[in-house]
Structure 1
Amino acid sequence: MKLKIFILSFFQICFLQAQLSHKVKELAKPLDSISYAESSNIGIAGEKSIVYDYFKKLSAIATNDELYYFARNGSNSLKFYSSTELFERKDNRFLEIYKYHSENPFTIRYQSGCVISRSNITQLLKSHISSKKYLFTIRNEFRAELKNNTLSTNMKKALKQIEKDCKKISMKSIEFYLAEIEKIDSEK
């Protein structure tokens, strides 16, 4: 029985690997051996993350199927980034990936700004979704200040970026994913 599962898994991985476009494979190479992840800006000075930027180039051309493959079979970096991108794209396979990582946990080093932590990947994924929910709260507060004409020029720039980030996913989707994750976590 175990042999059958191994053979089936082997052929599935080989088949999916064959489905990755050449360009996606090339863009994934720098990330394929990296075992950590970073936010878009890191360090005390908020420098742009090279690792994050590599993934953003990859995600710009990768299909959801390719991201799904990396979320299951890539390096720790690719697993995390691809999982979050599936969430951003509202691909329900994100929940399958979350459950898979819940059943096969591993820790990953993550740097956000100047803070470095080691966390279980599912904790990082939940944190990513929760931060999106918080972003909606900030957006609504900024919009209220904008209506009252009390928003500074810098905050107006920040609001534009927040509006751009909020366009990718709705609050309804965020609440759906959080509820589904809660169900998965309660099954443990």
Structure 2
Amino acid sequence: MVNFNFQIIIKNKKYSLTNNLVLNFYYFTMKLRILPLLLFTITFCKAQISEKVKMLAKPLDTIQYAESSHIGIGGERSKLYDDFRKLAKIATNNELFYLAKNGSNSLRLYSGKELFKRNDKRFLEIYQYYHDNPLFMKYIDGCMGKEDNIANHLMDEMYAAKEIISIRDSISKEKTDNFTKAQLKTINNEGYETLKIKNVEYFLNKIKNIDSGK
């Protein structure tokens, strides 16, 4: 065993530090260096989400599956989906990005989809993350359930969005009756108000590169 023999001077007095004392002194000084960084990290993490968003996220915080807006044979509204829409109305893109990586499975998928609907380019980072680190969860679409990786659920969302946007653009040109107005309002309320086909195509092209390893 190597013997250490260090001396430190405190108030003009010399003190010898040997073996265990040297190691204890070293660990103590390292802790003093790390503590401010640790406190900064904890504070930073807490600052990611506002109190109001935290409150709205609470009903979804332990849910490990997700649902479409309407579920079951009768097509009833999904409470799970509606709870997230309340959150989405006030959440910033930064908050959604944080939840897409750190929330429950439900929050991860819904938040990832919402970033896509908002044309936030960080959606690609979320897709890449789950492409490289697969996380499987159940998604109920209508009366059908599917267990798959979050990345694949996000891919499904992109293809579905193309159809939804086509319908939106078509009926927005002829919204003369109450039925078409109601349809358009529903589409907009679900987050598809501004997303364009060219935005979807951009994401799809980028994701092809991710899937091919480029």
State the TM bucket, normalised to the shorter chain: 0.7 to 0.9
Residues 130-185 of structure 1, C-alpha deviations (whole Å, 9 max, x = no match): 101122344566679x69xxxx9856753564577653201110100011111111
Q: Which residue of 2 aligns with 1:119?
A: 148
Indicate how the Cα distance of structure 1 residues 12 and 109 shifts in structure 2: closer, same or farther if over 3 A, else same. farther
Indicate how the Cα distance of structure 1 residues 18 and 140 shifts in structure 2: closer, same or farther if over 3 A, else same. closer
Indicate how the Cα distance of structure 1 residues 9 and 173 shifts in structure 2: closer, same or farther if over 3 A, else same. farther
Indicate how the Cα distance of structure 1 residues 143 and 29 shifts in structure 2: closer, same or farther if over 3 A, else same. closer
TM norm structure 1: 0.81
Gaps of 5+ in 1: 1-7
The answer (yes or no) to whether the contact 1:38–1:52 under 8 Å persists in 2 is: yes
Q: Distance in 1 between matches of 2:75 and 2:39?
A: 42
Q: Which residue of 2 aligns with 1:42?
A: 71
The answer (yes or no) to whether the contact 1:40–1:49 under 8 Å persists in 2 is: yes
Indicate how the Cα distance of structure 1 residues 159 and 52 shifts in structure 2: closer, same or farther if over 3 A, else same. closer
> Identity over aligned residues, as a percent?
48
Identify which of 61, 73, 87 aligns with 1:58: 87
Larger CA Rg, structure 1 vs 2 = 2
SS in 2 for 1:44: coil
Q: Distance in 2 between matches of 1:163 and 1:57?
A: 14
Residues 77-97 of structure 1, C-alpha deviations (whole Å, 9 max, x = no match): 000000000111111111111
Residues 54-88 of structure 1, C-alpha deviations (whole Å, 9 max, x = no match): 11011111111111110000000000000000111
The answer (yes or no) to whether the contact 2:117–2:192 under 8 Å persists in 1 is: no
SS in 1 for 2:74: coil
Asked if 1:100 corresponds to 2:133, the answer is: no
Q: Distance in 2 between matches of 1:166 and 1:22?
A: 26
Gaps of 5+ in 2: 1-36
Q: Distance in 2 between matches of 1:90 and 1:39?
A: 20
TM norm structure 2: 0.72
